[in-house]
Structure 1
């Protein structure tokens, strides 16, 4: 199918550039791919399996799914897909669902507690399975949304790094889909006919700020088609001298040059 091949080429090109730019995959790496059963992580796994065949370095893959004990959760379709792709996998059963409900304060979102628990499980499993890298399926829109959430509600300029080493310095976390458009992923997975596993926590609450930010961007994009492209580019072009972070300016030996700002006239 021509449409599927065209999408594959675009995704493959963007992912390849990101892996190369951030030196994500190295000789001898053993990569734990966190697979939730959603579109993003499934696409990531499929692309890494293909990349493994042609990469200039040797690396191993282990697909890991964390069964969080959500009511009605059934990993059977995911297991069927993993076995069809002949990829080594592990299903970890951990009832974090009840813990998330218990530990989340009224009016707060599940995401923070859920992601912290899941991240701890993945770190443990990576060490137990002799993996030195964890691959996550965050895409371009995730990067943009996190950047805006931090700026609008946390009072800081920050987001999700494409690659980082955890504090214990023994695990590297990579996000190979960093520059891949979410709509490409959604369309590719739909055309491929993969069965997806829904999450009964993510997006199940009303008034989520992440959802509101996503909706805001959709509205802005109708008026300014390049807004997402510009925001994503901004994540890689930080003008520290034009900000109010004096500590960072001193650390880098930079003097502010506010008079040189070039801001479009509205």
Structure 2
């Protein structure tokens, strides 16, 4: 992948059998092996589409460090996700009245595919709707997990937003405490608490999380199988303790569609070194595999299960 600041930076670049000459209104792509010259016309405010054409022609993926404000929506929406991503997101937001005028909305950015996808969804809603609200991406970074959040920060900047980073050492006490039966739950709870405190300081009234349909179904089954209750992960709920609302716009979206979207846009996923994410002893992973096995005979099983527990969301 080639990262550039402006399209003129591509001038003179050589990739495999291709060389590039960038003019004021066109790019000449020369196939030096077959001695073929292809000219691609472009306009200064449509660089995203130009880069997409270059990728299809040469397989060279080029990304801009900064996208023109007029092109952000073009970049986010892409093609082929109206039915599987944007429509279910819109329905969930409408069903639970997630965003309203005057909202100050924090987006919990873990650095994974889900949080970056839901960030894009919020930006898209802000641009296509008449709702006036503000977006504040916030990243809680456990230093024990390693990883560099620089690319995520650059991505937010490219989207016209500033990523707020709160570094913490919460992982140390959680990972070394052998008495904890559910370290993942405790880790998530501590991170959420840090987010809530920061939101209160900044007078932010809503928190967006990237949980999707699979997460909701898996959590319900985990509670039934291992806790003996019918607790659910609600698409939206009020936190009376902190005086804010938590919303999950991806509640109707299946994880496989988020994976496709993240790959197509080449989102900068932050690598997670947490040992519980891939542990064979993970109860969530066991439930995920169970649902995957059941879906072989019933492809719509996630939707069927979600519909069966909707009455518990109230």
1:46-85 aligned at under 5 Å gives the runs: 46-85=120-159
**3-state SS in 2 of match to 1:187:** helix
Residues 171-180 or 81-90, more deviating: 81-90
Q: Distance in 2 between matches of 1:142 and 1:24?
A: 19
Question: 1:100 is matched with which residue?
Answer: 174
Higher normalized strand content (fraction of residues): 2
Aligned residues: 237
Equivalent residue for 1:11?
85
- From 21, 36, 52, the counterpart of 2:95: 21
1:171 paired with 2:171, answer no
Is 2:246 the counterpart of 1:147? no
SS of the residue 1:63 aligns to: strand
Find the residue that maps to 1:51 and give its secondary structure.
helix
- In 1, Cα distance between the equivalents of 2:311 and 2:185? 28
Name the structure with the higher helix share: 1
Q: Relative contact order (C-alpha < 8 Å, sep 6+): which is higher?
A: 1
Q: Secondary structure at the match of 1:65?
A: strand
What is the alpha-carbon distance in structure 1 between the residues aligned to residue 177 and residue 248 of structure 2?
28
Larger radius of gyration: 2
Superposition deviation, residue 237 in structure 1: 4.5
C-alpha deviation, 1:4, in angstroms: 4.6
- Point out where structure 1 has 5 or more consecutive residues left out of the alignment: 239-266
C-alpha separation in 2, matches of 1:178 and 1:192: 21
Aligned equivalent of 2:109, options 32, 35, 43: 35
Q: Distance in 2 between matches of 1:218 and 1:92?
A: 35
| CA distance in 2 between partners of 1:62 and 1:101 (Å) | 29
SS of the residue aligned with 2:263?
helix
Q: In structure 1, what is the Cα distance between the partners aligned to 2:230 and 2:187? A: 23
Q: Which of structure 1's runs of 4+ aligned residues deviate more than 3 A?
A: 1-4
**1:64–1:104 CA distance, 2 compared to 1 (3 A):** farther
Q: CA deviation at 1:71?
A: 4.3
Q: Say if 1:117 and 1:169 are closer, same or farther in 2 by CA, change over 3 A.
A: closer
- Residue 223 of structure 1 pairs with residue 223 of structure 2: no
Q: What does residue 190 of structure 1 align with?
A: 263
Mapped contact 1:109–1:205 kept (Cα < 8 A): no
Query: Which position in structure 2 is the counterpart of 1:205?
Result: 279
The unaligned stretches of length 5 or more in structure 2 are: 1-51, 57-76
Per the TM alignment, residue 169 of structure 1 is displaced from its structure 2 partner at its CA by 5.5
Distance 1:101 1:5 in 2: 42
CA drift of 1:8 comes to: 4.6
What is the TM-score when the length of structure 1 is the normalising length?
0.84
Partner of 2:136, secondary structure, is strand
Contact 1:63 1:87 in 2 (8 A): yes
Match of 2:143, SS state, is coil
Do the aligned partners of 1:61 and 1:88 also contact (CA within 8 Å) in 2? no
Equivalent residue of 1:164, what SS? Answer: strand
Match of 1:70, SS state, is: helix
Question: Secondary structure in 2 aligned to 1:99?
Answer: helix
Aligned to 1:115: 188
| Deviation, structure 1 residue 133 | 0.4
